[in-house]
Amino acid sequence: MTAPKLVLAVVDGLKPAMLERAVATGRAPAMKAVMDRGTYVDRCCAAFPSVTPVCAATIATGVRQDRHHIPSMNWYWRDERRYVEYGSSFSAARRFGVVQQLTDTIYNMNALHLPADVPTVFESLDDAGVRTAGTTYLMYRGRYEHRMSKTTALTRLASTVMRRTVMGPKELFYADIFASRETPCRSQLGLPGVRDQHAGCVGAYLTEHDLFDFLLLSLPDNDTHSHRFGPHAQVTSIAAADRQLERVFHAGGGTDAFLDEHAVILVADHSHAPVEKAIDLQSAYADLAVLGPSGARRDDAEVALCPAQRSAMVYALVQEGRDALVPRVVRAALELEGVDLTLWRPAPREGAIASDRGELRFAPGGDLRDPRGGRWSVDGPLEVLDARVEDGVLRSPTYPDALGRAWSALSCPTSGDVLLSAAPGYEFADWGGVDHVGGGSHGSLHRVDSLGALAFCGVQAPHDHGEWSIADITPMALNHFGAG
């Protein structure tokens, strides 16, 4: 029996409470239909750092960054001795170089930063003979080659800078830059506020012309709206995303007819938290030689600083002095207002998490289980993670899946030497000096921006333990098509 077609709709930053409010007020009928027909989860856990590149890679591969190697929004590439910036803000992009930022985001993230031996959902389904399709999403790598589109004046202008082909799903529509076929859909090169409309237009076209078995429908404008107006303003942007999902449903004969023939997974990559105050990361390390965005002081720089919304990383650049430098970096972080948790690896197989509540050491393997089945040994006050042990299970509801997420981040070979998680209400200003004070943001280990929404119908759950992660999404899709 042929599996029903599957639509994976990723609504960036979808906060469960706001989805529930949108549904209760009649603003999200398409999402309500998915919830009513299937399963709704209000605690689907993001990766850490809970920023979009890390979470997009986790959703698209089904593994965390200890395997997919996408460590943050902004990071230091040790192999090339330079920063990688995926688009924190236009001001940050200008400091690192707009062309380099676009090259890293559009090309290098998929072609170089994501290891070749870590397949995406597109690659796995392409190999299984499933017809794949995707709208603009950071992780798009597949088995089909695509050349740049030159159908509009904007894309012809962009082609003077970006000339490479990319490997993507069979049908790829990426911000007008790549389009596997001519459609009436335009995104103005991925302009915020237009991206959801472009996805809805493409999704409806693909549905009407029967061009996919699996479609990743990316709806990112909710994140932009929440950054600007705060998470409690999401009902408006959720309603806008819902209209595009409904547009796809209507192209398949209406909501009921579409859901009779299609499975749907609706998932947030992370959640959002209000921001009241910015953290100036550079001030904490004013006594150290900091590598600048332009590469200034590269030869004598001691640290590289990588702010990424409600998370940050610090890289120790002087390897012969690392053992002395890392504790110094940790002490400075613990004294910085707005830093909730400081994480590092005091030994190759040991992690440490510290706050004003103490210092906790942990390592994989041991007598304690976490709710997802991981095993750990722990030494130190559990109060650091507001955690408790119940029947041999370590539970940390304030910091969901804390040890698993923290260890994946610390053991990622491209991560910094010291990782920081902001306290509720705080955010690290980026290298362009931009923050979201008065709006919303994400990135921390805390539940407030780590727990997103998940709803699915027509597809089987991969487990029954109730502790959901965005890493479960690709296994669900692969199992649906018998490709797991």
Condensed to tens digits (0 to 9), the pLDDT of residues 377-412 reads 999 999 999 999 998 899 999 999 999 999 999 999
Percent of the chain past pLDDT 70, that is, above it, reads: 96
Per the DSSP assignment, residues forming a β-bridge with 358 are: 355
* Mean pLDDT rounded to a whole number for the chain: 94
In a domain, 123, yes or no: yes
Residue 162: what pLDDT?
61
CB under 8 A, 24+ apart: contacts of 150-154: 151/176, 151/179, 151/182, 152/176, 152/186, 154/188, 154/189
| Statement: the pTM of the whole predicted model exceeds 0.85 | yes
Whether 198 contacts 185, CB under 8 Å: yes
pLDDT in tens, 114-163: 999 999 999 999 999 999 999 999 999 999 999 987 665 555 555 555 66
Residue 176: what pLDDT?
87
Which CATH number does the domain housing residue 44 bear?
Answer: 3.40.720.10
Q: Which two tokens stand for residue 380?
A: 């130190």
Element (H, E) at 7: strand 5-11
State how far the Cα of 129 lies from the Cα of 409, in Å rounded to an integer. Answer: 33
State how far the Cα of 261 lies from the Cα of 231, in Å rounded to an integer. Answer: 34
In a domain, 77, yes or no: no
> 339-347 and 350-355 as β-strands: parallel, antiparallel, unpaired?
antiparallel
Residue 149: what pLDDT?
79
Considering the domain architecture, whether residues 40 and 184 belong to the same structural domain is answered as yes
The whole-number average pLDDT for the span 311-318 is 96
Considering the domain architecture, whether residues 327 and 194 belong to the same structural domain is answered as no
The whole-number average pLDDT for the span 42-68 is 98
pLDDT in tens, 233-267: 999 999 999 999 999 999 999 999 999 999 999 99
Residue 320: what pLDDT?
85
Considering the domain architecture, whether residues 281 and 207 belong to the same structural domain is answered as no
Considering the domain architecture, whether residues 135 and 21 belong to the same structural domain is answered as yes
Q: Which domain, by its residues, includes 30?
A: 5-70+114-272+446-480
Considering the domain architecture, whether residues 50 and 187 belong to the same structural domain is answered as yes
In a domain, 325, yes or no: yes
Whether 223 contacts 52, CB under 8 Å: yes
In a domain, 101, yes or no: no
Considering the domain architecture, whether residues 297 and 401 belong to the same structural domain is answered as yes
Give the residue from 311, 219, 246 showing the smallest Cα distance to 34.
246
Considering the domain architecture, whether residues 394 and 453 belong to the same structural domain is answered as no
Element (H, E) at 426: strand 425-428
Residue 93: what pLDDT?
94
In a domain, 94, yes or no: no
Residue 98 has pLDDT above 80, yes or no: yes
Positive or negative, the CA dihedral 223, 228, 234, 240 is: negative
pLDDT in tens, 164-211: 899 999 999 999 899 999 999 988 766 777 899 999 999 999 999 999
In a domain, 405, yes or no: yes
Whether 246 contacts 31, CB under 8 Å: no
Per the DSSP assignment, residues forming a β-bridge with 353 are: 343, 360
Domain count of the chain?
Answer: 2
In a domain, 90, yes or no: no
In a domain, 80, yes or no: no
